[in-house]
Amino acid sequence: MLKLNGTLTHFPNPVANSKNVYSDAQRDVISIAKAANAIADIKTWPAYSETPLHSLAAMANDAGLGALWYKDESQRFGLKSFKALGGAYAVACQLQNVLEAQLGKRPSIAELLDGQLKDALSEIVVSCATDGNHGRSVAWGAQMFGCGCVIYIHRDVSEGRKQAMQAFDAEVIRITGNYDESVRQADLDAKANGRIIVSDTSYEGYMEVPKDVALGYTVMLAEIVEQLEGEVPTHVFIQGGVGGLASAVAGYFWDLWGERRPRFVVVEPVEANCLQLSAKAGKPVIVDGDLNTLMAGLACGEVSALAWEILSNGADDFMTLSEEAVAETMRMLATGYKSDPGIEAGESAVPGLAAAVIAAQQVEFSNALNLNVKSKVLVIGTEGATDPELYKQLVG
């Protein structure tokens, strides 16, 4: 019998777009057309390969679902996270912008990589704040293309994640505040020192770069569409955070599938549920405090303005997941459930899967979400063991 411990809360979005009209403003954030260049560019990067889409048939059967697909990002570019796509792509775009202004001609990705522009690139410094994975992508992108990099982390980011960024030659600065305070500090210092902020969250006066980050993620989404071989999920359970990934997934699939789009369910930690609270308030809401959660990549208290442009009416449901479900789900994936494959999944990779399985087996939630034996559920395993020591503690 498949059973996961953990409790859920559920808030159905009262303004979810029942007419499935994807607006021009939403399409300006993410669209199939805008994604095409990002997909083409990233597929030319050294060591690109698509990541697997696993069918968890045994788990689906025991949870009472028709299908359960798990997109496994645990080995993406060796960085063990889907964020390898977004941060590094946004770094490339910013370098192209700077060099185009200097040279009068926009360099290609190949020209950034082949060493011709080495001296000019070495004078540029990119920067961001991070819980770990986005910063690792930015640092890796900076090293790959040859520019400088300064990363800000908050008090709760593990030493292992800090060292992973330093391994890509980034300068890493730890502050005493939380994630949202590290975002503000990185922005202040970038303005004072002439650095380029490459953030995965948007805020007033800073909207364009996060669009490039989100476009980087579409490589993963295009892979999923090909791997599904014509199938369209009925549900997508996706992790929250600031909303960047969730909005990219919702927007891309909405633009692609229109009226056939899946039901989008956003999952957050109980202590960092800024998206759920924003949906309840009908406007972005800030969650203050320590944002204490094992799901480190989701410990975010402020909604990305661009993400909210899509999620405010593109997400159908907002859920929270209690902490005890996380390690249990990680262990279940690591060993492989019955005939399902073993999968390396970090603590921020599993909330969507855990919420889907728990919801499917509880009448209150299965009825509210229309989950049943005909449901075909997609989840995205966003990371592997990005903190190996913590993974070992949780999984054994």
- pLDDT tens for residues 167-209? 999 999 999 998 889 989 999 999 999 999 999 888 888 899 9
Q: In whole angstroms, what is the distance from residue 125 CA to residue 350 CA? A: 34
**What percentage of residues in the chain have a pLDDT greater than 90?**
88
Dihedral angle sign, alpha carbons of residues 150, 151, 154, 159: negative
C-alpha Rg value of the chain to the nearest Å? 20
**CA neighbor of 299 nearest in space, from 311, 290, 286:** 290
For the question of whether the overall pTM of this predicted structure is more than 0.75, the answer is yes
Answer yes or no: are the C-beta atoms of 304 and 247 closer than 8 Å.
yes
Note the CATH architecture for domain 8-81+210-395: 3-Layer(aba) Sandwich (3.40)
Q: Supply angle C-alpha 98, 101, 103, rounded to 5.
A: 105
pLDDT tens digits, one per residue of 226-285? 999 999 999 999 999 999 999 999 999 999 999 999 999 999 999 999 999 999 999 999
Burial class from Cβ neighbours inside 10 Å (0-12, 13-18, 19+) for residue 211 reads: middle
Which pLDDT score, from 0 to 100, does residue 60 have?
98
Which pLDDT score, from 0 to 100, does residue 133 have?
87
For residue 368, give both structure tokens: 């509210």
pLDDT tens digits, one per residue of 92-114? 999 999 999 999 999 999 999 99
- Which ranges constitute the DSSP H helices of the chain? 24-29, 32-42, 57-63, 83-103, 109-113, 118-122, 133-145, 159-166, 179-193, 208-228, 244-257, 274-281, 305-314, 324-335, 351-360, 363-369, 388-395
Listing DSSP states for 243-299 in one string gives SHHHHHHHHHHHHHHGGGPPEEEEEEETT--HHHHHHHHTS-----S----S-GGG-
Residues with a known catalytic role: 83, 131
pLDDT tens digits, one per residue of 123-179? 999 999 998 889 999 999 999 999 999 999 999 888 988 999 999 999 999 999 988
What fold is seen in the domain 83-207?
Answer: Rossmann fold (3.40.50)
Q: In whole angstroms, what is the distance from residue 18 CA to residue 316 CA? A: 9
> Where, residue-wise, is CATH 3.40.50.1100 in the chain?
8-81+210-395, 83-207
> How many Cβ atoms are within 10 Å of 227's Cβ, its own excluded?
16
> How many Cβ atoms are within 10 Å of 121's Cβ, its own excluded?
19
